[in-house]
A and B are shown apart, each in its own frame.
Chain A
Amino acid sequence: MTGRRASDIDADAARYVARMDGDDWSDAQERELERWLARDPRHPGALLRAQAAWMTLDRPFPAQSAVREDAGVRVGWSRRRVLAGGGAAVAAAVGGGVLLFGGTSYATAVGEIRRVPLADGSIAAINTASAIDVSLDDAARNVRIDRGEAWFQVARDKRRPFVVAAGRARIRAVGTAFSVRRRAGGADVLVTEGVVEVWAEGAEGHRVRLKAGSRGFVADDAAIEQAPAAPSAIDRALAWRNGKVDLAGDRLDSAVAEFNRYNRRQLVVADPAVAAERFDGVFRTDDPEGFAQAVEVSLGVPVDLSDPAQIRIGRPGL
Chain B
Amino acid sequence: MAAWVTEHVIPHEAAVRAWLARTRASQEDIDELIQESYSRLAALESVDHIDRPDAYFFSIARNLLVRRLRRARVVPIEAIAEIDAFQDDMRPSPEREAGSRIDYRRLLALIDALPERRRRIVRMRKLEGWSQREIAAALGVSESIVENEIYQGVRAVQRAWRDGEALSAARLAAFEGGERPR
Interface residues of A (CB under 8 A from B): 1, 5-7, 9-11, 13-15, 17-19, 21-23, 41-62, 72-77, 81-82, 85, 87, 89-90, 92-93, 95, 123, 153, 177, 192-193, 241-243, 284
Chain A residues in 8 Å Cβ range of B161: 49, 53, 56
Contact A81 B1 (CB under 8 A): yes
Contact flags B1-24 to A (C-beta < 8 A → 1, else 0):
111111111100100000000000
Contact A6 B7 (CB under 8 A): no
Chain B residues in 8 Å Cβ range of A52: 2-3, 5-6, 9-10
Q: Range of interface residues on chain B? A: 35 or more
B155 to chain A, nearest CB (A): 5
Chain B residues in 8 Å Cβ range of A7: 31
Closest A residue to B27 by beta carbon equals A6
Contact A56 B107 (CB under 8 A): yes
Contact B150 A48 (CB under 8 A): no
Q: Which of B130, B133, B146, B157 lies in contact with A56, CB distance below 8 A?
A: B157
A-B contact pairs, 19 of them (CB 8 A): A6-B35, A43-B39, A45-B34, A45-B37, A48-B1, A48-B38, A48-B42, A49-B10, A49-B38, A53-B6, A53-B154, A55-B2, A57-B122, A57-B126, A57-B157, A62-B104, A82-B1, A89-B3, A153-B128
Q: Which of B2, B101, B131, B148 lies in contact with A85, CB distance below 8 A?
A: B2
Stretch from B43-51, B74-82, B83-91, B174-182 that touches the partner: B43-51
Q: Given that A22-B143, A73-B3 are contacting pairs, would A44 and B39 also be in contact in the complex, using a CB cutoff of 8 Å?
A: yes
Contact A153 B150 (CB under 8 A): no
Q: Which of B36, B104, B131 lies in contact with A23, CB distance below 8 A?
A: B131
Q: Which of A5, A57, A93 lies in contact with B4, CB distance below 8 A?
A: A93
Assembly CA distance A127 to B129 (angstroms): 18
Closest A residue to B148 by beta carbon equals A18
Contact A44 B111 (CB under 8 A): no
Contact B150 A21 (CB under 8 A): yes
Q: Given that A72-B7, A243-B105 are contacting pairs, would A51 and B2 also be in contact in the complex, using a CB cutoff of 8 Å?
A: yes
Within 8 A of A (CB), among B106-164: 107-108, 111, 122, 125-133, 143, 146-148, 150-151, 153-155, 157-158, 160-161
B113 to chain A, nearest CB (A): 13
Assembly CA distance A60 to B157 (angstroms): 16
Assembly CA distance A48 to B40 (angstroms): 10
Task: Say whether B95 faces chain A, with CB atoms less than 8 Å apart.
Answer: no
Closest B residue to A19 by beta carbon equals B147
Which 6 pairs between the two chains have the least Cβ-Cβ distance?
A45-B38, A93-B3, A45-B39, A6-B31, A18-B151, A52-B5
Q: Given that A45-B38, A56-B166, A62-B105 are contacting pairs, would A18 and B147 also be in contact in the complex, using a CB cutoff of 8 Å?
A: yes
Chain B residues in 8 Å Cβ range of A192: 128
Chain A residues in 8 Å Cβ range of B34: 6, 45, 49
Q: Which of B41, B101, B147 lies in contact with A62, CB distance below 8 A?
A: B101
Contact A18 B150 (CB under 8 A): yes
Contact A58 B48 (CB under 8 A): no
Q: Given that A6-B28, A14-B154 are contacting pairs, would A57 and B107 also be in contact in the complex, using a CB cutoff of 8 Å?
A: yes
15 further contact pairs, Cβ within 8 A, besides A17-B151, A48-B1 = A6-B35, A18-B151, A22-B146, A42-B39, A45-B38, A45-B42, A49-B10, A53-B10, A56-B107, A56-B161, A57-B157, A62-B101, A73-B4, A74-B48, A93-B6
